[in-house]
């Protein structure tokens, strides 16, 4: 079974302090992927930065996506639906110190479709978490973004080479092949 992991499509990274046109550009594609995934019965997990004072990431990036604030909420256009799971994370890797791995295992998930931002940070580190749990990794290029095309390309190539991720041009390829 496949599951979709939506990484950090939150206000801070789409519309707020770290928001960009690159991040906003993938929202419609992710929305379409989620519609197709739900119609196929694929579980959807939202992984969202939700920091607390003292989190190590704050030393690198400054205060951002603080738990319980507008900044840490999923953007309205991708609001979770009934049955979707929302998991707060405090690290780049959505598996670290969360119950994501257990929940996927309990559902019998063997493949994860990882989408969101940033390709070269939280998407890539979450792919590492999936890899270490023996999950097959699928990444649709048109559903992930980074601060630059160069960073995005580098991260996609890294995930292919190091984690054996299957990088496909479009979410449509995944829905057609399901």
Please list the alpha-helical segments (H only) found in 21-99. 21-25, 27-39, 56-61
- Please write the tens of the pLDDT for every residue from 113-164: 999 999 999 999 999 999 999 999 999 999 999 999 999 999 999 999 999 9
The answer to whether 113 touches 139, Cβ cutoff 8 Å, is: yes
The confidence score (pLDDT) of residue 22 equals 95
pLDDT-derived band at 55 (thresholds 50, 70, 90) equals confident
Q: Is the pLDDT of residue 177 over 80?
A: no
The confidence score (pLDDT) of residue 178 equals 67
Query: Model pTM greater than 0.75?
Result: yes
Domains of the chain listed by start with CATH number? 2-176 (3.40.50.850)
The confidence score (pLDDT) of residue 58 equals 85
Q: What is the mean pLDDT of the chain?
A: 95
Quote the tokens at residue 139: 């990444």
Q: Is the pLDDT of residue 75 over 80?
A: yes
Q: Is the pLDDT of residue 52 over 90?
A: no
pLDDT-derived band at 19 (thresholds 50, 70, 90) equals confident
Residue 178 neighbours by CB distance under 10 Å: 13
């Amino acid at each position: 079974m496949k599951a979709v992991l939506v990484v950090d499509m939150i206000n801070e990274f789409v519309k707020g302090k770290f928001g960009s046109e690159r991040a906003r550009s993938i929202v419609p594609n992710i929305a379409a992927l989620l519609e197709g995934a739900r119609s196929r019965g694929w579980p959807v997990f939202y992984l969202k930065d939700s920091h607390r004072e003292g989190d190590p990431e704050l030393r690198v990036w400054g205060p951002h996506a603080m738990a319980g604030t507008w900044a840490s909420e999923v953007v309205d256009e991708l609001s979770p639906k009934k049955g979707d799971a929302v998991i707060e994370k405090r690290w780049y890797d959505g598996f670290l110190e969360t119950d994501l791995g257990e929940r996927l295992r309990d559902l019998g998930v063997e493949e994860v479709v990882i989408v969101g931002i940033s390709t070269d940070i939280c998407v890539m580190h979450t792919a590492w978490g999936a890899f270490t749990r023996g999950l097959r990794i699928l990444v649709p290029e048109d559903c992930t973004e980074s601060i630059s095309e160069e960073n995005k390309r580098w991260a996609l190539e890294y995930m292919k080479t190091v984690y054996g991720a299957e990088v496909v041009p479009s979410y449509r390829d995944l829905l057609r092949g399901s």
